[in-house]
Homo-oligomer: A and B are copies of this chain.
Amino acid sequence: MATAEWKMAELGARSGVPVATIKFYQRENLLPPGERTSPNQALYGEAHLGRIRLIRALIEVGGLSIVAARQVLEAIDSERPLQETFEIAQHSVSEAIDPETLTTDALTHVDALMSGWHVSADNPGRLAAARVYDTFTGVGQVDAAGWFRRYAAAALLAAEADIDELDARAERAAKAEIVVVGTVLGDTLFSGLRRAAQEHVSALRYATPPAAEV
C-alpha cells in the first residue's frame, strides 16, 4: 500500500464513512489494518481510502452481503487466475439456483438462445435465465416478439464491452478490479438504462405524453 499518513479520524472524514463503520469493515476483514506506528495508533493512506470506496460500491450500490463482498475482495487481492475471479464475482451477484427446480424445457430453450456459445452447464447465469423462462411461461406468457432471443443478443453486446474493458487494463490487479466492479455495477447500469430507454421507445411509438428531451 502507498504512504500511510492519516489517522483513523481523517480516513473517516476523507471517505465520508463513520469511524465505527470503518472499524467494522476491519473486523470483517474487508479492509486491511493500517500501518501501526505505536501500540495505540495506526496510519492510513490512499490505498485504504480506495478500498473503502470499493466496499461501499459493492455493498451500497451492488447490494452484496458482507460475506459476498469479502469473497470478491479476497479474489481481487489474490493471485488467482482471472477466470476464477470472474467466477467468484458472478457467483457473488447470483442467487444459487438448484438445477433440479428447473424444467428441461426451460434449459433447452435457454441453451437454444445461447447456441454456439461456450457456457458451462453450471454457469449461474444460464440457470437464472432458465428460471426466468419457467416463470414467464408459468404466468401464462408467450414470447410473441422474440423477447428472449433479443435479450440474448443485447447481453452478448454488453459482455463484449465487459471483456474489452478488462483487456484495456494491463496489470493483473487492475483487471481483477474491473472484473468485480463491472460484474457488480453492470446489472444496475443496464437496468437503469433499460428503464430510460423504455420511456424513450414508448414515447416515440405512442407520441404521448410528450416528455421533455434531456
A binding-site residues for B, Cβ under 8 Å: 50, 53-54, 56-57, 61, 83, 86, 90, 93-94, 111, 113-114, 116-121, 123-129, 131-132, 135-136, 138-141, 143-148, 150-169, 177-178, 181-183, 185-206, 208-214
Is B53 a contact partner of A132 (Cβ separation < 8 A)? no
Q: How far is the CA of A165 from the CA of B142 in the complex (A)?
A: 9
Residue of B nearest to A115 (CB): B214
Answer whether A129 and B196 are a contact pair too, CB < 8 Å, given A168-B144, A185-B136. Answer: yes
A150 proximity list for chain B (CB < 8 A): 157-158, 160-161
Partner of A154, one of B94, B140, B181, B190: B190
Is A161 a contact partner of B139 (Cβ separation < 8 A)? no
Q: How far is the CA of A119 from the CA of B114 in the complex (A)?
A: 32
Answer whether A86 and B202 are a contact pair too, CB < 8 Å, given A119-B211, A146-B161. Answer: yes
**Min CB distance, A91 to chain B, in Å?**
9
Residue of B nearest to A158 (CB): B154
